[in-house]
Amino acid sequence: ETGVTQTPRHLVMGMTNKKSLKCEQHLGHNAMYWYKQSAKKPLELMFVYNFKEQTENNSVPSRFSPECPNSSHLFLHLHTLQPEDSALYLCASSHFKGGNTGELFFGEGSRLTVL
């Protein structure tokens, strides 16, 4: 079992569909992240959860809705997306201790195409 697993790996959806991305980490970490990676742009932080509490929401449109039921699982619910939302969505986890962040580990990513 790899450290951070994401499903599905590829997703094609229409603008009116509702879908969800799933992430699970097996590293015993206490923080989980969603990043968006578009062509020619740096990785964009979307959401951060620490101990299941959302600590960051980087001005992400409400058509993206995160859910973190426990420290090992993270979801990204998608609805009414736009074609410009097509990107690679990366889940990551780290261990936050003593005020410092440890190393960040990524899943394989979910490649999303919005038609």
Q: What residue ranges bind another protein (CB under 8 A)? A: 31, 33, 40-43, 45, 48, 50, 55-56, 88, 90, 92, 94, 96, 99-101, 103-109
Between 39 and 62, whose beta carbon lies closer to another protein?
A: 39
Between 75 and 106, whose beta carbon lies closer to another protein?
A: 106
Task: Report in angstroms how near the CB of residue 16 gets to another protein at its nearest.
Answer: 28
CB 76 within 8 A of CB 32: no
Task: Report in angstroms how near the CB of residue 97 gets to another protein at its nearest.
Answer: 12
In angstroms, the Cα distances linking 41 to 32, 46, 53, 105 are: 22, 14, 28, 20
CB 64 within 8 A of CB 46: yes
Task: Report in angstroms how near the CB of residue 67 gets to another protein at its nearest.
Answer: 18
Beta carbons within 10 angstroms of residue 107's beta carbon:
24
Between 16 and 98, whose beta carbon lies closer to another protein?
A: 98
